[in-house]
């Protein structure tokens, strides 16, 4: 007698999950990997030191997703976690030991798992949250298929306005109309369910409102879930967001979503809107969740809650912050910075920003009862804007002293030494040209002048810079004024030092960055004490530009921006760089510069 034995795939887990990453993120990552590997008709055994870092409930969640990743079954070996469970249930503690041999092998370091969702039409089409906005726009562009809806670009940003029970409402492509915490797999996991409750609690405390037209539901697979949510006091916060317990059993992921409100259904069908559902279920195949939701994404329960007030797939940046910050209970105030980390400014400013955030949070007199959170994004761009006019950008505050003050300080230094002529060396961009123009005017008032201008093209090679500086070094004038942005300046200064044209250089971006954080923290403290609140809205005037990667329709407008701006303009305190106060043009007033003569191993202050 013979029989065919199934292949057994060994899936090794190592490391441990990072903070803010849930079991559902792990499950969706595993599903994607196993689908790609091919495990139909096979068993999958999970092993490795990482297994000991996940709970029995987490293991059950992973194993119970075997139909979605295509295996006959998924299982875990017996270890100390299993034995603890067996002991609690009166089972034997004996563990069989034997060497494992598999048909094929996979490996996953749990530390590599990141927050993600899966969709829009299959469980194994995993999308990292940080890439979700771009991926969604790709789905709109792509031809109809597993990852495409073929929506013409000219209508991708259309907004459909309608009345929802007498209240104004709107939908666009990607608007969430169903948010469901469901599935016997995910709702049986206490960590993610309590996480969803904690997100709901934090959202209530922040005063954020759910989009009223989103159909929400909570359907745990087991009655015990309702008990610990009630006993923990978290169910009341879920109820406030519409996540009332509708029963225990299968609902959304098998199509038992129920009807959408008639006004919502009409707005979708009459305008051909690609509406979305977000659920913590196992399956999101086309047509399975609801006939009117063409985009269906699987997500962790905490993220499902976050979507009820984000409202749209394109607003996932906000949801990412909620997933990592709200889930950890630390989203009291947020500061977002975009910096090119691998630039001179980035390397100098980043430590100053981080130090200031730490100092603000350790000071009980500022933002009492709240925590200032820092969100840093690497722009991967070293572009330098130079002088930006406040008239062009009404909400722009110049937290560094302008070129005007710096150039007049340099002119004073030149006057002090009674120099009459200088050579200027600058990059041929707005920043360089504007600064040198101001310097020329300042020198004229001191009866001095620029005798020669050396201009570098942006991105000039080191050899080109060397050739120009050699020529400059042979001129009669021995006074050089360098006016370059920090990144190109490094190359110029290094060549100049080799030619004995300068001795040392430094920058003060860290000090400016530190003071700016304190400026913002103090202003926010006044803002909240005067009754200000976090309230945002969408601006229908913002439209995406064809051919651009900037998705302007994903931006929200801070409704109390004018109030915060006026508070910022009224601030007056002393920071590391001196007095922090703004004039009518939104520039720092009364700037002072120490004039130092640097030589050898020391420096001498000769004026200010």
- The pLDDT value given to residue 562: 83
Flag whether pLDDT at 236 surpasses 70. Answer: yes
Give the pLDDT band (50/70/90) at residue 274.
very high
- The pLDDT value given to residue 488: 57
Flag whether pLDDT at 342 surpasses 90. Answer: no
Taken in order of first residue, the domains within the chain and their CATH numbers are 8-114 (3.40.1060.10), 117-326 (3.30.499.10), 333-383+509-576 (3.40.50.2300)
Dist. CA 436–CA 443, nearest whole Å? 10
Instruction: Sort 341 into a burial class: Cβ within 10 Å, 0-12 / 13-18 / 19+.
Output: middle
Dist. CA 182–CA 220, nearest whole Å? 6
Residue 293 CA: distances (Å) to CA of 47, 179, 223, 225, 280: 38, 11, 29, 28, 15
Instruction: Let me know: does 590 contact 581? Beta carbons within 8 Å.
Output: yes
- The pLDDT value given to residue 433: 81
Instruction: Let me know: does 437 contact 466? Beta carbons within 8 Å.
Output: no
- The pLDDT value given to residue 598: 58
Token match 């803010």: residue? 20
Flag whether pLDDT at 46 surpasses 90. Answer: yes
Taking alpha carbons only, the member of 252, 272, 8, 260 closest to residue 140 is: 272
Token match 């002119």: residue? 411
Quick one: what percent of the chain has pLDDT higher than 70?
A: 73
- The pLDDT value given to residue 325: 35
Flag whether pLDDT at 447 surpasses 90. Answer: no
Angle at 413 between CA 408 and CA 418, to 5 degrees: 120
Q: pTM, whole model, 2 decimals? A: 0.50
Angle at 224 between CA 222 and CA 225, to 5 degrees: 75
Flag whether pLDDT at 366 surpasses 50. Answer: yes
The pairing of strands 573-575 and 578-580 is antiparallel
Dist. CA 171–CA 71, nearest whole Å? 39
CB within 8 Å of 376: residues ≥ 6 apart? 337, 339, 341, 350, 353
For 110, other C-beta atoms within 10 Å of its C-beta total: 20
Token match 């916060």: residue? 237
Angular region, 287: left φ>0, alpha ψ -120 to 50, beta rest: left
**Distance between first and last Cα of the chain:** 98
Dist. CA 197–CA 236, nearest whole Å? 9
For 395, other C-beta atoms within 10 Å of its C-beta total: 12
Q: What is the pLDDT of residues 482-529, one digit of tens each?
A: 777 655 555 666 666 555 444 444 456 677 788 888 888 888 888 888
Give the pLDDT band (50/70/90) at residue 193.
confident
Of the ranges 260-264, 444-448, 449-453, which is most confident? Answer: 260-264
The length of the chain, given as a count of residues: 608
Give the residue-averaged pLDDT of 257-263.
88
Give the residue-averaged pLDDT of 326-353.
53
**φ, ψ dihedrals at 113, nearest 5°:** -75, 135
Quick one: what percent of the chain has pLDDT higher than 90?
A: 11
Flag whether pLDDT at 377 surpasses 80. Answer: no
Give the residue-averaged pLDDT of 586-593.
67
Lowest mean pLDDT segment, chosen from 170-174, 207-211, 534-538: 534-538
Cis peptide before 120 (omega within 30 of 0): yes
């Amino acid at each position: 007698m013979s029989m065919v034995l199934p292949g057994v795939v060994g899936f090794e887990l190592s490391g441990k999950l990072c903070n803010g990453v849930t079991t559902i993120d792990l499950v969706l990552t595993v599903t994607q990997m196993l689908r790609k590997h091919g495990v139909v008709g096979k068993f999958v055994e999970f092993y490795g030191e990482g297994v000991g870092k996940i709970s029995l409930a987490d293991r059950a969640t992973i194993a119970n997703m075997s139909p979605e990743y295509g295996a006959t079954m998924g299982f875990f070996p017996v270890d100390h976690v299993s034995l603890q469970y067996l002991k609690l249930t009166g089972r034997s503690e004996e563990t069989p030991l034997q060497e494992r041999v598999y048909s094929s092998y996979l490996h996953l370091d749990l530390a590599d798992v990141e927050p993600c969702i899966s969709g829009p039409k299959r469980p194994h089409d995993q999308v990292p949250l940080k890439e979700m906005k771009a991926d969604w726009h790709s789905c709109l562009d792509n031809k109809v298929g597993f990852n495409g809806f073929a929506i013409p670009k000219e209508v991708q940003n259309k907004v459909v306005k309608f009345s929802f029970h007498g209240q104004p409402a709107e939908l666009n492509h990607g608007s969430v109309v169903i948010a469901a915490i469901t599935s016997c797999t995910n709702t049986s996991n206490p960590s993610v369910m309590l996480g969803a409750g904690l997100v709901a609690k934090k959202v209530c405390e922040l005063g954020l409102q759910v989009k009223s037209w989103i159909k929400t539901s909570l359907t745990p697979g087991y009655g015990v879930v309702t008990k610990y949510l009630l006993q923990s006091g978290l169910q009341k916060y879920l109820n406030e967001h519409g996540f009332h317990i509708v029963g225990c059993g299968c609902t959304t992921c098998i199509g038992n979503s129920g009807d959408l409100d008639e006004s919502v259904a009409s707005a979708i069908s009459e305008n051909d809107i690609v509406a979305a559902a977000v659920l913590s279920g196992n399956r999101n195949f086309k047509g399975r969740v609801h006939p009117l939701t063409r985009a269906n994404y699987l997500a962790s329960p905490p993220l499902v809650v976050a979507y009820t007030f984000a409202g749209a797939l394109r607003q996932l940046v906000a949801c990412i912050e909620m997933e990592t910050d709200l889930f950890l209970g630390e989203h009291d105030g947020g500061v977002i910075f975009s910096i090119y980390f691998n630039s001179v400014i980035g390397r100098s400013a980043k430590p100053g920003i981080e130090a200031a955030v730490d100092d603000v949070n350790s000071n009980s007199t500022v933002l009492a009862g709240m925590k200032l959170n820092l969100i840093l994004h690497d722009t991967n761009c070293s572009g330098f804007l130079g002088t930006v006019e406040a008239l062009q950008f009404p909400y722009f505050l110049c937290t560094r002293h302008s070129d005007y003050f710096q150039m007049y300080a340099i002119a004073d230094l030149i006057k002090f030494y009674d120099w009459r002529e200088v050579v200027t060396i600058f990059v041929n961009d707005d920043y360089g040209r504007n600064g040198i123009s101001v310097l020329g005017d300042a020198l004229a008032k001191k009866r001095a002048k620029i005798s020669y201008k050396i201009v570098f093209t942006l991105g000039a090679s080191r050899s080109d810079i060397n050739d120009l500086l050699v020529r400059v070094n042979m001129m009669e004038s021995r006074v050089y004024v360098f006016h370059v942005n920090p990144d190109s300046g490094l190359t110029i200064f290094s060549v100049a030092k080799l030619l004995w044209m300068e001795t040392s250089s430094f920058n003060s971006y860290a000090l400016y960055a530190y003071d700016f954080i304190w400026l913002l923290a103090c202003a926010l403290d006044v803002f909240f004490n005067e009754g200000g609140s976090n309230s945002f809205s969408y601006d229908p005037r913002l439209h995406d530009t064809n051919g651009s990667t900037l998705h302007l329709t994903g931006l929200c407008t801070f409704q109390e921006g004018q109030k915060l701006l006026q508070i910022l303009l009224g601030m007056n305190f002393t920071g590391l760089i001196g007095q922090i106060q703004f004039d009518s043009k939104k520039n720092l007033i009364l700037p002072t510069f120490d004039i130092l003569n640097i030589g050898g191993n020391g420096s001498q202050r000769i004026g200010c």
